[in-house]
Structure 1
Amino acid sequence: MARQLTSLNFNSFFAGIGGFDLAFENQGFKPSFQCEINTFCQSVLQERWPDVPLHGDISSLSSSDIPEATIWCGGFPCQDLSVARGSKGRDGLRGSNSGLFYPFFDLIASHKPEALIIENVAGLLSSHNGQDFRIILEKLTSIGYAVAWRVVNSRFFGAPQSRPRVFICAFRGNPIKAFSTLFEEEIGQKPKGLRQAFLDVSECQKSGAKVAQIAYCLAATSGRHTGTDWSRTYVSYPDAVRRLTPSECEGIQGFPKDWTSINSKSGSDSDTDRYHALGNAVSVPVVEWIAKRLKQEIMDSKKPVSSESLIENLLKSHGQVVQKFREQDYLNLVLDPNGDEQKLKWMSGGIAFEGKCLDFKATEFPRDIIPSKLIDVIEKSNVDQKYFISANAAEGILRRVKSQNRSLFGPLNEALVTMAKGREAA
Structure 2
Amino acid sequence: MYVGSLFSGAGLGDIAAEALGLSHAWFCECDPYARAVLAKRWPGVPVHLDVRDIHAQNVKQVDIVIGGFPCQDISCAGPGAGITGKRSGLWSEYARILGDLRPRYAVVENVKALLGRGIDRVLGDLAEIGYDAEWDVFPAAAFGAPHLRERVILVAYPGSDRGPARAPILAPGGDLATHRQPDGPVDWNGLRLEGPRAQAAVSAHRGPVVCRVDDGGPHWLDRLRCLGNGITPPVVRWVLGRIMTAENCA
Is the structural similarity TM-score above 0.5? yes
1:42 aligns with 2:23: no
The separation in 1 between residues aligned to 2:166 and 2:65, in whole angstroms, is: 14
Partner deviation per Cα, 1:68-100 (whole Å, 9 max, x = no partner): 011111100000000123xxx411121111011
Aligned 8 A contact 1:34 1:53 in 2? yes
Residue segments in structure 2 that go unaligned for 5+ positions in a row: 178-186
Residue 43 of structure 1: CA displacement?
Answer: 0.3
Provide TM-score, normalisation by structure 1: 0.50
1:107 aligns with 2:93: no
Partner of 1:27: 20
Partner of 1:356: none
Q: 1:147 aligns with which of 133, 136, 140?
A: 133
Q: Secondary structure at the match of 2:77?
A: helix
Rate the CA distance shift 1:145–1:297 in 2: closer, same or farther, 3 A: same
The separation in 1 between residues aligned to 2:65 and 2:249, in whole angstroms, is: 18
Q: 2:2 aligns with which of 9, 14, 19?
A: 9
The separation in 2 between residues aligned to 1:61 and 1:138, in whole angstroms, is: 22
1:121 aligns with 2:145: no
Q: Which amino acid aligns with 1:284?
A: P
Partner of 1:421: none
Rate the CA distance shift 1:95–1:116 in 2: closer, same or farther, 3 A: same
User: Which structure would you say has the larger Rg?
Assistant: 1
Q: Secondary structure at the match of 1:65?
A: coil
Residue segments in structure 1 that go unaligned for 5+ positions in a row: 1-7, 203-210, 219-232, 235-241, 247-260, 262-268, 302-426
Aligned 8 A contact 1:115 1:172 in 2? yes
Q: 1:58 aligns with which of 48, 51, 55?
A: 51
The separation in 2 between residues aligned to 1:178 and 1:273, in whole angstroms, is: 43
Rate the CA distance shift 1:191–1:74 in 2: closer, same or farther, 3 A: closer
Q: What pairs with 1:220-299 in structure 2 (closer than 5 Å)? A: 243=213, 270-299=219-248
CA RMSD of aligned residues (A): 2.8
Number of residue pairs the alignment of both structures matches: 233
Aligned 8 A contact 1:149 1:167 in 2? yes
Provide TM-score, normalisation by structure 2: 0.83
Partner deviation per Cα, 1:83-138 (whole Å, 9 max, x = no partner): 123xxx411121111011111211111111111000000111111xxxx2111101
Residue 181 of structure 1: CA displacement?
Answer: 2.2
Q: 1:182 aligns with which of 140, 160, 170?
A: 170
Partner of 1:200: 199
The separation in 1 between residues aligned to 2:163 and 2:17, in whole angstroms, is: 22
The separation in 2 between residues aligned to 1:163 and 1:175, in whole angstroms, is: 33
Q: Secondary structure at the match of 1:155?
A: helix
Q: What pairs with 1:327-406 in structure 2 (closer than 5 Å)? A: none
